[in-house]
Structure 1
Amino acid sequence: MSSIPLLQLALDYISLGPAVAMATTVAPHVDVIEVGTPLCKAAGIQAVREIRAVCPDKIILADLKTPDVGGLEAAMAFDAGADWMTVIGGAPMATVESALEVARQRGREVLMELTGVRDILAHAREWKQVGVQRMVYHRGWDEQTFNREWAEDDKVIIRQLIDMGFKVTVTGGITIELLPFFRDLPVSVIIAGRAIHKAPDPAASARELRSAIHRLWGSSQSGYGTASVAQSDTRAADLAAKAVRWGVSDLGLLLTVDGRSCPGCDAPDRLCQSTVTQVQCPPGVSAAQVAQALAHIFGQSGAFGPVSADVFYLDPAQLDRLAPDRVTELMAATGNALRQLGCAVDVNAGVSTTNRILAAW
């Protein structure tokens, strides 16, 4: 996963109009827009459609906290434009599996909401077996009312979930002052609600939160987790990143940087200073869909993931083993995932170019 968490805005409104207005105002400064549970209940699935209409380039989460009929509610959420939806942790396994099946068919994702779950790790092991990849670790509104604060015990559980391979979202009274508490955890998403929409200037508040997240999680890193690569492996990581960038281009995809003004991957002043390659999704395909398809082919890995609704990243430095064959496998999986999603990509050309660059390993 990306080592810099995404910022998610929680729209926990009970009226659709103010929620749409807030989403429109804040969208440029966040990565994910959550149609909160109160809003889903108050305005129905139409709330998801309305938020998607005003935020076409954002990841949209429908926080349904589905307790039953998982497949049906997942289909409702995804048909309305959601990229992600939540299932409550107390739901039967059949509900979880039916929601996951619909998500796989649509190239979307299901998140398990841990509110009220006892023995989280035991449940996590069961969910892992059926393919759950994301979880929401939640300090709820009522808990906040009764002054239940974030504690080191929470961090221990979050760390264990991440070590199990889950992408963990944290939420519950998150403020800019609280962010350093989570700094040593590679969480995937950080949710803020009232810290943004109750602020005098919500857009400025979101902008400050996002800046703080990038400063805290990126201060010792040049990109998405490349600090984890040992110094002796720097050359190998740079070569792998070059192979990925060239391979992606020969797949027929566009990078988010304009390579025409770049002096080249081997130049000290190259545009891509980290091992991360950010890739523009082909038309009609979301980053969440690409990540889901990649996970199905390649397995769970921090070497890929969504950056925004229509941009995904590849980072060979995050592979479980930094070696030429794994880099090539990542490129092949990327091409095949996009092909499964109906995209016209040249997998052979991408893999061939990747191997040609890696010949200098």
Structure 2
Amino acid sequence: MDLQVAIDRVTLDKAVALVKQLDTKVDTIELGTSLVKDYGLEQIHAALPTLTHAKLLLDLKTIDEGVYEFEKGFAVGDILTAMGAGAPDMLDGVYQVAESVHKQLFIDLMETGDDRIAKIADFTHAIYGIHHAKDSQAGFDAAATVADFHQKFPQVQHVSVAGGIDLDMARKLARQGIAESVIVGSAIIKTADPVAAAQTFMEAIH
């Protein structure tokens, strides 16, 4: 299982410093939606160092203007997100852009029902993100949700999960062996030593 560390709601200078620290320590570094909105692709591109190990995910949460946003976004990152609730033509378009540049589409399934997922579950190389909304007050059992998703949509090859993941849940997901990656934000970024916290998570899932 891979570890994706989500950086968000910090200054661009802080984000760049964290990227430099975490590049060789984790599998994927995510720059969250708020960062992309606050600073924009061009400013982020100009400020970021070239990564030597980790992939860069930009959480665009695209729901319209898909081809345009993905053509711009893939000039900066390796993985871009689009909302599963978006139009089928939008998802088709961004998937084709991703395929053409040998990069990846991440489909965010937040607030996307089973009927809708069934219609968009055949993008072979896409990552399907099981995402518990930050604003949601409902409880979230990541492992149980992943198991249920896998039973319903066994054709999906790349599953990622986010939403308050702690060390115990990360270990449980790793043992379960369904999710390809786990996304951790505050439990790493908001600690006194993000590098040490990331290393602890990496040890827990490998």
Residues 5 and 26 of structure 2 are in contact (CA less than 8 Å); yes or no, is this contact kept in structure 1? Answer: yes
Aligned to 1:98: 93
The answer to whether structure 1 residue 176 and structure 2 residue 167 are counterparts is yes
Residue 335 of structure 1 corresponds to which residue in structure 2?
none
Q: Which amino acid aligns with 2:53?
A: D
Contact 2:142-2:169 at 8 Å conserved across structures:
no
Shift of 1:178: 1.9
2:45 to 44, 49, 52: 49
Shift of the 123–166 alpha-carbon distance from structure 1 to 2, 3 Å rule, reads farther
Equivalent residues in 2 for 1:123-272, closer than 5 Å: 123-129=116-122, 131=124, 133-143=126-136, 146=137, 148-150=139-141, 153-160=144-151, 163-182=154-173, 183-214=175-206
In structure 2, what residue type is equivalent to 1:33? I
Unaligned runs of 5+ in 2: none
Cα distance in 1, alignment partners of residues 161 and 65 from structure 2: 26
Structure 1 stretches of 4+ with a deviation exceeding 3 A read 128-132
Partner residue of 1:8 out of 4, 10, 25: 4
User: Cα offset for 1:91?
Assistant: 0.5
| Distance in 1 (alpha carbons) for counterparts of 2:184 and 2:144 | 21
> Larger % of strand: which?
2
**Aligned counterparts of 1:126 and 1:68: Cα–Cα separation in 2:** 18
TM-score, normalised via structure 2 length: 0.90
Identity of aligned residues (%): 27
Supply the AA of the counterpart residue of 1:13: R
1:109 aligned onto 2:87: no
Aligned Cα root-mean-square deviation (Å): 2.1
In 2, distance between residues paired with 1:196 and 1:151? 18
The aligned amino acid for 1:75 is: E
Give how far 1:76 is off.
Answer: 0.9
AA in 1 matched with 2:177: L
Deviations 1:11-34 (A, max 9, x none): 112421111111112222101011
SS in 1 for 2:176: coil
Distance 1:100 1:180, change over 3 A: same
| Post-superposition CA distance 1:137-190 (Å, at most 9, x none) | 0112112xx252326651333323662233001111111122233221321111
Is 1:17 paired with 2:13? yes
Q: Are 1:27 and 2:36 an aligned pair?
A: no
More helix by share: 1
Q: Which has the larger radius of gyration?
A: 1
Structure 1 gap ranges (5+): 215-361
Task: Give distance in 2, aligned partners of 1:169 and 1:24.
Answer: 24
2:31/2:59 contact within 8 Å kept: yes
Distance 2:123 2:22 in 1: 35
- The residue identity in structure 1 corresponding to 2:120 is W
Q: Hey, what's the Cα distance between the residues in 1 that align with 2:148 and 2:203? A: 26
Deviations 1:230-286 (A, max 9, x none): xxxxxxxxxxxxxxxxxxxxxxxxxxxxxxxxxxxxxxxxxxxxxxxxxxxxxxxxx
Alignment of 1:319-334 (within 5 A): none
Tell me the distance in 2 between the aligned counterparts of 1:211 and 1:57.
17
Offset of residue 130 of structure 1? 5.2
Once residues 158 and 52 of structure 1 are traced to their aligned partners in structure 2, the CA distance between those partners, rounded to angstroms, is: 35
* Equivalent pairs, count: 205
Corresponding residue for residue 71 of structure 1:
67
CA distance in 2, matches of 1:51, 1:59: 16
Name the CA shift for 1:107/1:155 in 2 (closer, same or farther; >3 Å). closer
CA change 1:11–1:50 in 2 (3 A) is farther
Instruction: Using structure 1 for the length normalisation, give the TM-score.
Output: 0.53
Separation in structure 2 between the aligned mates of residue 149 and residue 51 of structure 1, nearest angstrom: 35
* Higher relative contact order (Cα pairs below 8 Å, separated by 6+ residues): 2
- TM superposition shift of 1:83: 1.0
CA contact (8 A) 2:129 2:160 kept: yes
The answer to whether the Cα contact below 8 Å between 1:162 and 1:168 also exists between their aligned partners in 2 is: no
> Against the structure 1 CA distance between its residues 131 and 93, is the aligned structure 2 distance closer, same or farther, given a 3 Å change threshold?
farther
CA distance in 2, matches of 1:34, 1:56: 15
